[in-house]
């Protein structure tokens, strides 16, 4: 069985302001660094084989901090980069509603291509680290799309709002992916 812990990156200033980041490369803020450390402390109590991360700074910082606690190698995979929100990046929810009331953001990555990209990444992880325990540090839309795909839309995209530094566990056994748990934040000292 292959086990994956999907970790959403820690908080950034844009998260704190309610601004959509997408592929815009924003670093962690102080709270996000603290959250990443709390993830590392929590994940240290279990056995992991490898860490995979999105190439965006906020995810890489989170992965590097977690790695400092569990002492495992970190690999970047572009398949787990955040969804491109096109012209909506940098806007708050209020600004997006005002500018794009139909919720269609020009130049946004289509959900079908997002899902295809990230599921390709999961397939690569399963092939490369079959039977291993893998941490994947990624982004809200990426993790939500994985959860939605695996759960047949019962959870995930448009249903679940993932918190910064939350943990989500999935497993692959008998040719099937299953969601074990999601949006776990009990390891964090503050919301």
Instruction: Consult the annotation and say whether 76 binds a ligand.
Output: no
Domain at 21, CATH number: 3.40.50.1240
82 is annotated as an active-site residue = yes
Total domains in the fold of the chain: 1
Is residue 16 within 8 Å of residue 144, measured between CB atoms?
Answer: no
Residues 6+ apart with CB under 8 A from 61: 9, 10, 27, 28, 32, 33, 36
13 among annotated binding-site residues: yes
Residue 149 lies in a domain: yes
Query: The domain containing residue 117 runs over which residues?
Result: 2-184
Q: Is residue 87 part of a domain?
A: yes
Residue 189 lies in a domain: no
Q: 85 among the known binding-site residues? A: yes
pLDDT tens-digit profile, the chain (191 residues):
999 999 999 999 999 999 999 999 999 999 999 999 999 999 999 999 999 999 999 999 999 999 999 999 999 999 999 999 999 999 999 999 999 999 999 999 999 999 999 999 999 999 999 999 999 999 999 999 999 999 998 898 778 889 999 999 999 998 999 999 999 999 999 75
């Amino acid at each position: 069985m292959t086990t994956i812990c999907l970790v959403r990156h820690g908080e950034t200033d844009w998260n704190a302001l309610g601004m959509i980041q997408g592929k815009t490369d924003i670093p962690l803020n102080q709270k996000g660094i603290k959250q990443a450390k709390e993830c590392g402390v929590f994940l240290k109590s279990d056995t992991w084989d490898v860490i995979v991360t999105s190439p965006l700074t906020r995810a890489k910082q989170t992965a590097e901090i977690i790695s400092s606690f569990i002492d495992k190698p970190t690999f970047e995979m572009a398949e787990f980069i955040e969804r491109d929100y096109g012209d909506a990046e940098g806007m708050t929810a209020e600004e997006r509603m005002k500018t794009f009331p139909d919720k269609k953001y020009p130049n946004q990555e289509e959900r079908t291509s997002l899902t295809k990209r990230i599921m390709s990444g999961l397939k690569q992880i399963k092939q490369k680290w079959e039977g291993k325990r893998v941490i994947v540090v990624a982004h809200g839309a990426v993790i939500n799309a994985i959860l939605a795909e695996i759960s047949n839309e019962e959870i995930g995209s448009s249903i679940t709002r993932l918190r910064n530094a939350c943990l989500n566990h999935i497993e692959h056994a008998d040719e099937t992916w299953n969601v074990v748990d999601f949006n776990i934040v009990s390891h964090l000292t503050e919301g």
